[in-house]
Amino acid sequence: MLKAVIPVQAYWPFHKIQCRRNEFADAIEEAEPKFARWMRAHGKLAVLKDDEVDRLERAAATGTRREEVMETMYGRLEPKPAAARYSAEERAAMRAREDAERAAARAAALKSASYLAIDVPRDMGLDCGDYKWRQTQSHVEIYVPLPDGMPARKAVVTLRPRYLSIELDERPVLRGELTREVKVDESTWYVQDGVLEVVLLKRSRRGNYADGQTNADTFWKSVVKGAAERETLCLEQPPTAYYWTLCDGDDTANKPLRRLPLPAKQDVAKPAVKQDMGQIDTKNPELGEKRPQSMLAEA
């Protein structure tokens, strides 16, 4: 009966190369064969950190041999990372990238703080996730945070008396028919600290009601008609605090003052005559100018 022969000698080269590969020992085997044999015998492996792997990958992209890179990274008998060597261009690019990352982080923190600082009073508006809105007796204010790195020019606002559309980089955030009509010429929008702010002046507001309406009819329950439930105030009547909010945009501020009619001539009473200080000229009662007795006699 024949015994099975295990091909140890034939299997060992494959096992040495594929299963127990020690790349660090392979790299130093020519120059330090004794140290390489010692590493393999004791199962010592060279563990590379992320920055070292990055250097090896960059070296492979430039055509540098792996062994040359490892030679610059480690010594022989006492493997230690060698100091990295970068060109002036590489250092400048690294500094520029770090500065850009810090600036982006500061801008994101400022924008986040600015948007979080916007307070929406209870029952005066809502935080709808993608935007916030609040109102007074005269205005509706909408706040939309811009995505990180998006320039302000990509924020597009389309406003008509009964329509509003807000898009960020061609992505619609809010669109539809407004709850009530607004005055487009006295409404505005702008970007500040990474937040798009839209200010709408209500056409029907305190002191400027539509026919048959009262101040309660100036209250908005949502920005657009048919808004989702999470974007709509679930109130039957405006809260009491609504009537205490500020009211700006009074049209009478831009209107000329109405002149009061002068009293009729016959209604003007004749002034009394004072003998001691002189008489008031009765020929010019509106002026009420006092003249001495001698001047009145000459007149």
Domain map of the chain by residue range? 10-73, 125-251
Q: What is the C-alpha to C-alpha distance for residues 74 and 92, in angstroms, rounded to an integer?
A: 26
Write down the pLDDT at residue 11: 46
User: What is the pTM (predicted TM-score) of this model?
Assistant: 0.51
Whether the pLDDT of residue 286 is over 70: the answer is no
Residue 274 has pLDDT above 50, yes or no: no
Which pLDDT does position 26 carry in this prediction? 78
Contact call for residues 183 and 172 (beta carbons, < 8 A): no
pLDDT at position 72: 64
One-letter amino acid identity for 173? V
What is the pLDDT confidence band of residue 211, given thresholds at 50, 70 and 90? confident
DSSP-derived secondary structure letter, 15: I
* CA 199 – CA 69 distance, rounded (Å): 61
Q: Report whether pLDDT(23) > 80.
A: no
- Give 167's strand partners: 156, 172
Where is 252: in which H helix or E strand?
A: none
> Taking 90 as the threshold, does the pLDDT of residue 219 lie above it?
yes
DSSP 45-93: --PPPHHHHHHHHHHHHHT--HHHHHHHH--SSS--PPPP---HHHHHH
Residue 53 has pLDDT above 90, yes or no: no
The reported pLDDT for the residue numbered 51 is 67
Strand partners of residue 191: 196
For helices 50-62 and 66-73, angle between their N-to-C axes, nearest 10 degrees: 140
Tell me the C-alpha distance between 4 and 7, whole Å: 9
User: Which CATH number is 125-251 given?
Assistant: 2.60.40.790
Categorize the per-residue pLDDT at 139 as very low, low, confident or very high, splitting at 50, 70 and 90.
very high
pLDDT bucket at 45, cuts 50 / 70 / 90: low
The token pair at 254 is 């831009």
Pick the more confident residue, 55 or 115: 115
Angle at CA 288, nearest 5°, toward 282 and 291? 70
